[in-house]
């Protein structure tokens, strides 16, 4: 499996090359390529005839990382993404897809280099702007809990949360991250936010926003704001697991239409 070096980390990368349009697929905080597949968030499984690049973000899955919270800020992850694209798809415009932290990473990358992307498929956008402070506090508490009481104490708190209706029946998973790195990842997330609204408004590429209901960590308020700010956005809201099952087909349509 290819490994790509970035400052302070080695990224585990996979490329499914069937020719056609380049697509890059990211994942969410504490997840990975493998975990997103288990969670039914691997939308790329529905693609064919593309060059699909997937990788584990620094500190996640099979990629390495450091105990440096700043490494895991979304701006830093966006720099990693742009380096990956320079290496695998030099001079090409790509379609980007990813949930939560992956969506944040894509928006930071697209706000810096909007001409790099033909389109975006943003899944379950995370808390942002006015809702970010409370979530940042939750991440700092999680980091302190892991350091003081251990990973099992943290996992016990996550099991008490009510899952969004669209994820009912999904298997229970644990973070695909080395325990020693988890506090730094959470503190990096606490330091992160989406780009400023005026920067978002300048990302003038076709964008599909895939959201779901009743998830405080991924509120519809962010999805609604993005749909209003982005010049070429459409919003689809899932309420059941069956709705989420349509998402790979939506990505396929996005890539075909924008490739």
Let me know: does 95 contact 182? Beta carbons within 8 Å.
Answer: no
pLDDT at 1: 67
pLDDT at 259: 57
Q: Collapsing DSSP states into helix, strand and coil, what is residue 248? A: helix
- 246 to 60, 184, 238, 250: CA distances (angstroms): 27, 35, 9, 6
pLDDT in tens, the chain (259 residues): 689 999 999 999 999 999 999 999 999 999 999 999 999 899 998 899 999 999 999 999 999 999 999 999 999 999 999 999 999 999 999 999 999 999 999 999 999 999 999 999 999 999 999 999 999 999 999 999 999 999 999 999 998 889 999 999 989 899 999 999 999 999 999 999 999 999 999 999 999 999 999 999 999 999 999 999 999 999 999 999 999 999 999 999 999 986 5
The secondary structure of 112-127 as a DSSP string is: H-GGGEEEEEEES---
Let me know: does 181 contact 65? Beta carbons within 8 Å.
Answer: yes
pLDDT at 2: 85
For β-strands 94-99 and 9-17, DSSP reports them as unpaired
Q: Which helix (H) or strand (E) holds 17?
A: strand 9-17
For β-strands 117-123 and 9-17, DSSP reports them as unpaired
CATH level 3 topology of 3-258? Rossmann fold (3.40.50)
What is the distance between the alpha carbons of residues 140 and 155, in angstroms, rounded to a whole number? 15
pTM above 0.85, yes or no: yes
Which residues, in sequence order, are bridge partners of residue 212?
238
């Amino acid at each position: 499996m290819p490994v790509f070096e970035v400052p302070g980390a080695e990224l585990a990368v996979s490329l499914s090359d069937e020719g056609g349009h380049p697509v890059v697929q990211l994942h969410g905080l504490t997840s990975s390529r493998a975990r997103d597949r288990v969670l039914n968030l691997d939308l790329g499984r529905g693609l064919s005839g593309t060059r699909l690049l997937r990788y584990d973000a620094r500190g996640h899955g099979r990629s390495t990382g450091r105990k440096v919270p700043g490494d895991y800020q979304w701006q830093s992850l966006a720099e990693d993404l742009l380096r990956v694209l320079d290496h695998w798809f030099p001079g090409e415009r790509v379609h980007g897809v990813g949930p939560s932290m992956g969506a944040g990473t894509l928006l930071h990358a697209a706000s810096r280099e909007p001409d790099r992307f033909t389109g975006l498929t943003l899944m379950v956008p995370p808390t942002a702007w006015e809702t970010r402070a409370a979530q940042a506090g939750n991440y700092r508490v999680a980091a302190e809990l892991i350091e003081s009481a251990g990973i099992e104490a943290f996992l016990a708190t996550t099991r008490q949360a009510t899952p969004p209706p669209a994820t009912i029946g999904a298997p229970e998973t644990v973070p695909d991250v080395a325990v020693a790195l988890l506090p730094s990842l959470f503190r990096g997330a606490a330091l992160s936010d989406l780009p400023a609204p005026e920067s978002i408004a300048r990302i003038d590429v076709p964008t599909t926003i895939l959201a779901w209901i009743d998830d405080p960590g991924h509120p519809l308020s962010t999805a609604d704001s993005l749909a209003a700010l982005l010049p070429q956005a459409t919003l689809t809201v899932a309420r059941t697991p069956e709705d989420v099952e349509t998402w790979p087909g939506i990505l396929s349509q996005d890539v075909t239409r924008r490739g």
